[in-house]
Structure 1
Amino acid sequence: MKRADLERLDGLARNPAAPESVLLRILTGAEGPVRGSVFERDGVPESVCDVAVYHPDREVRGYLAVGRGASGAQRARLAADPDPWVRSRVAAGPEVHGRWRKADPLPDEVCAALARDEDRQVRAWLGMFVPVPEEVRALLLADPEAKVRESALYHWRRAPIEAVRPLLDDPDPTVRRAAAQVAGVVLGSPAEILEQVAAADSGWGRREIVVGALLTDDLADRLYATGDKDIRAGLAANRGLPDRLVTALASDASPAVRLAVSLRPELTEERRAAIDWHVGPEDRILPPAWVMQSLTDPVLMRACAESAHPGMRRFAAYSPHLPGDLVARLAADEDFVVRMLLCENHPAAPGDLLLETLLASPFITRFDQLPQPQFPRAGLARFAESEDPGARLLVARDPEAPAELIERLSHDPSAGVRCVMARDARLPVGRLLELLDEPETVGAAAEGPALPLTAMEAILAAAGIP
């Protein structure tokens, strides 16, 4: 099959206007991953799921199991599949790229059943990509198989420290290491930690070990005495650092060390302000473990959000639990990264802020918030003349944009803009058929809701599907 024919077939499988008969022909007559595209479209017909659930080829059943467009109830029909490979894919769920495109979760009772599945791999994959209830996570953390406990830790990256702490003493070393990584601690005696620091092959590696080390006064003093700036930066971020060393490191010669000290949560604002730190708009500050473990702590998150330090406000912006007054406060923050992180993490980030951040962001993730329900639609046609192709493609989201404008933008110099317009139902059929023959837009044009049935039949015929 020619590449263009395959791209058209893949687009047709995703076309929201493709009738069930066309989808069934693709599912039963095509080969390879293109069959999975039938389950990537929004709204998978039940008749298509019926065929997939009982299909003799487990690959087809697997495509439904991880289909991003299938509902949780539809995917759950395979939770009792006789093949553990299929059940594992149900347990893992769809791998969804883009923070705000979320797959429909499995029903709670199905998650609980998968957590007790006889196959270890099924239990280990549960919740890999789709969230499961916390009580199910607790079942997995108590699983008799070490591999399942380890996997559950890595899939529950924002697990409360209370759930992780018992596994720091797990009888299996792989589970202990996973728990330590999630908790942000380094296991071992002071002598072992010193050996790990000495053996680290990079400054970043030394810093990370020291950040998570369980410090005694003697170990802290010995690490401080090395004079290594990466070790000092690690000490500066370690929650167990004695206050006398916090004071010493607050005037350290290294800007990285002083910045790390300034981000300690126990400092008063006066003490924080007395430190000579700097945070630029392009400086990246990775949140330490205590941040991710404290996202539900209202007192600490408020202190971070109200801090004069942009790094602390960035930490607060990771929390999806901030109350409305703090959301409004951070939405107006002078630091772009604070505003961007709020958009990425809080479900109630203001719609105007989502748009503003998309337009200003230089990052590849700039479009991740488009599916948010509060992302504005009205008035987006005003971006038709923008120099930014990312702004021009927003025009298709404006319900009042006229067909003439959609047609004009379908000739845009940017292939990305042309593809977005090809998927718009307002695009005239004649222009859609032209895009169906242009190399950069063949797949997107096949997704166009205005595609005539005759064109769909031609795509199937070219792919050899009866």
Structure 2
Amino acid sequence: METLYSVRLEGLAANPSAPEDILLRILEHAEHRIRAALVHRAGVPDAVYDAITRHPDPRTRRLLTMDGRVPAGLRARLAADPDPTVRMAVAWGPDVRWDRAEPLPPETVARLAADPDSRVRHALCELAALPADVRAGLAADPDPAVRRNALQLWRDPPPEAVDAALDDPDPDVRRQAMLHGYRRHPELVAPLLAEGCEGVAADAVLDRAQAAALCRHERAGMRAAAAANPSLPPDLVAVLAADPAAEVRLAVSLRPELTEAERAAIDYRIGPRDRPRPPPWFRDRLGDAELLRRCATSAHVGLRRLAAHSPHLPADLVTLLAADGDFTVRALLAEHHPGAPGELLLAVTLESRHPARFERLGHPNFPHAGLARLAGSPDPVARMLAIRDPAASAEVVERLSRDGEPRVRAAAAGDARLPVARLLELLDDPAAARSAAGNPGLPEPSMRRILYDVAIL
């Protein structure tokens, strides 16, 4: 149960100024939720890392495998853990947010690929940086579930691996091989379409009979998939342009070969926050400059939203879409383009109502300087951002620590510029106590008092 005392302890576990002995006491005596805060903090001392690898609770040892800041050597040590769930977590690797995590040593990957527990080998298939020779070995694993997972997650398996799996004794492995092999083996298209596989309907080279049957399919999703298929004959494109289902007409309207006039003649609908899933023909051409230009300059907002998915947009198109009148275009650009302008990142963060909007704060282009001007904004999110200005004064931070909005007080409570007297007051504010306990300016006697209050000291 969460109490004011446990909330303070959780904040203290993440405090960058907390002494090593305090962190070790928390690791030894606190509940799992609070130990998680300690593991996922920045700047974990080596002695604490070492103690975590020896912790008796496997859930705590697993925490080390999920954070991309943990050195690969430490994660590799856990590949020999006696608990298979820990070894599985090592195989999975850090959370996808840590795309720059240090990779495991090759010998550790080989060890995991030979683990006696098939669940560990199955988990290893999820590792994005898995070497091709290791994945090939897993695709021939004795366990059919491992073989299927290895093949499913193999982005571009070699033809010989796919063809071997087409003769696999396990039906799930054979089906996964069919999904990889239908482009080279047209005879596989028909059975996959019969199963209702929309990905194949959108991407396979269709013969006339298959295309016509898809245009009459009872499921609108299959008709919409066919409407996105580049091999669909023009007369059938025209049929689907008048389909009774809005999703089908929208898919037709996004076809790359249509003129602007032909698109405008289709009764398509797209909501202000709809995000059309990029069809296969677009995903395969994210770096096609000519296609991106046509999409980014189209009157069709759906095509502009597709263009905003590409991380390869040239600078002039980034500038164009950053000023687009459609919020979703701008939001997608901020989400996907590494060169998104700082003004765009700030504007989208303020305008969005999606929880993921705060992920943009870590973007290298996010403009922290000058945010103090937002301290008087009626928008609580803007006031929270004001605290991130490195030039914000201690007076501004203290004023925001008394804000009527709990989220703003919590943001101010963690700021090192906050005067100590006010910081100590916020330890008694349920909305701000966690942040206050994590403030690097918290005096050490106050840290030890937090341990005393929960009977750890």
TM-score with structure 2 setting the length: 0.84
| Aligned equivalents of 1:298, 1:147: Cα separation in 2 | 41
Answer with 234-243 or 418-427: which moved more: 234-243
Residue pair 2:401, 2:408 contacting (<8 A) in 1 also:
yes
Report matched runs for 1:3-152 at 5 Å: 3-67=3-67, 69-95=69-95, 104-107=101-104, 109=106, 112-113=109-110, 116-118=113-115, 119-126=117-124, 128=126, 131-132=128-129, 135=132, 138-139=135-136, 142-144=139-141, 145-152=143-150
Matching residue of 2:361: 370
**Over residues 31-61 of structure 1, what are the superposed CA-to-partner deviations in whole Å (9 max), with x where a residue is unaligned?**
4332222111112111211222233443332
Q: Please report how far the alpha carbon of residue 190 of structure 1 lies from its aligned counterpart in structure 2 after TM superposition.
A: 4.5
Residues 377, 397 of structure 1: 8 Å contact kept: yes
The alpha-carbon deviation at position 107 of structure 1 amounts to 4.1
Aligned residue number for residue 304 of structure 1: 295
Assess, with a 3 A threshold, how the Cα gap between structure 1 residues 359 and 232 changes in structure 2: closer, same or farther: same
Residues 8 and 450 in structure 2, CA contact (< 8 A), matched pair in contact too: yes
Picking from 156, 159, 162, the partner of 1:166 is 162
Report the number of matched residues.
451
Shift of 1:240: 3.8
Classify 1:454/1:339 alpha carbon distance in 2 versus 1 (closer, same or farther; 3 Å).
Answer: same
| 1:223–1:93 Cα change, 3 Å | closer
| Counterpart-to-counterpart distance in 1, 2:277 and 2:161 | 22
Q: Is the 8 A contact 1:111 1:132 kept in 2?
A: no
What is the percentage of aligned positions where both structures have the same residue?
46
Contact kept? 2:192, 2:200, Cα under 8 Å: no
CA RMSD of aligned residues (A): 3.6
**How far apart, CA to CA, are the structure 1 residues paired with 2:191 and 2:128?**
39
Select which of 401, 404, 408 maps to 1:413: 404
Q: 1:205-216 to 2 correspondence within 5 Å?
A: 211=202, 215-216=206-207
Structure 1 residues 143, 397: closer, same or farther in 2, change over 3 A? Answer: farther
Q: Which amino acid aligns with 1:312?
A: L
| Cα distance between partner residues in 2 of 1:325 and 1:140 | 46
Give the drift of 1:192: 7.6
Q: CA deviation at 1:269?
A: 4.8
Is contact 1:44-1:69 (8 Å) kept? no
When structure 1 is superposed on structure 2, of 167-176 and 47-56 the one drifting more is: 167-176
> Could you report, residue by residue, the CA deviation over 1:159-212 in whole angstroms, capped at 9, with x for unpaired residues?
359899938847343345557779999997757845x56xxxxxxxx9788557
Quick one: which amino acid aligns to residue 90 of structure 1? Answer: V
Q: CA deviation at 1:111?
A: 6.8
C-alpha separation between the residues in 2 aligned to 1:120 and 1:436? Answer: 48
Shift in CA distance, 65/278, structure 1 to aligned 2, threshold 3 Å:
closer
Show the counterpart of 1:440. 431
Q: 2:382 aligns with which of 386, 391, 400?
A: 391
For 1:293 and 1:183, the matched residues in 2 are separated by 17
Quick check: 81-90 or 450-459, which moved more?
A: 81-90
Q: Supply the AA of the counterpart residue of 1:336.
A: F
Q: Secondary structure at the match of 1:11?
A: helix
Could you tell me how far 1:424 is from its partner in structure 2? Answer: 0.6
Instruction: Decide which of 429, 439, 450 is 1:459's aligned counterpart.
Output: 450
Counterpart of 1:445 in 2: which secondary structure? helix
Amino acid at match of 2:330: R
Between the two structures, name the one with larger relative contact order (CA 8 Å, sep ≥ 6): 1
Give runs of aligned pairs for residues 193-272 of structure 1, distance below 5 A: 193=193, 196=195, 211=202, 215-225=206-216, 232-252=223-243, 254-269=245-260, 271-272=262-263
The SS at the match of 1:368 is helix
CA contact (8 A) 1:71 1:103 kept: no
How big is the shift at 1:20? Answer: 1.4
Q: Note the alpha carbon deviations across 1:379-430, whole angstroms, 9 max, x for none.
A: 0011111111111100121000001111111111111111111111111111
Q: Give TM-score, length-normalised by structure 1.
A: 0.83
The equivalent residue for 1:203 is none
Name the CA distance, whole Å, in 2 between partners of 1:38 and 1:12. Answer: 8
User: Which stretch of structure 1 is more off in the superposition, 52-61 or 368-377?
Assistant: 52-61
Separation in structure 2 between the aligned mates of residue 231 and residue 50 of structure 1, nearest angstrom: 54
Give the counterpart of 1:361 among 352, 355, 374.
352
> Aligned pair in 2 of structure 1 residues 8, 343: CA closer, same or farther (>3 Å)?
same
Q: Give the Å deviation of 1:457.
A: 0.6
Query: What are the ranges of 5 or more consecutive residues in structure 1 without an aligned counterpart?
Result: 198-205
Asked whether the 8 Å contact 1:250–1:262 carries over to 2, the reply is yes
Rounded to whole Å, the distance in 2 between the matches of 1:209 and 1:34 is: 47
1:86-128 CA-partner distances (Å, limit 9, x unpaired): 22212223336xx6x7563424636743663424323322374
Give 2:129's aligned amino acid.
V
- Report if aligned partners of 2:27, 2:35 keep a CA contact under 8 Å in 1: yes
What is the rounded CA distance, in whole Å, between the counterparts of 1:324 and 1:170 in structure 2?
48
Change (3 A) 1:176 1:284: farther
Counterpart residue type for residue 320 of structure 1 = P
Task: Determine the C-alpha separation between the residues in 1 that align with 2:303 and 2:328.
Answer: 12
Query: What CA distance in whole angstroms lies between the structure 2 residues aligned with 1:183 and 1:294?
Result: 20
The one-letter amino acid paired with 1:370 is: L
Of the structure 1 ranges 344-353 and 27-36, higher mean CA displacement relative to structure 2 is found in 27-36
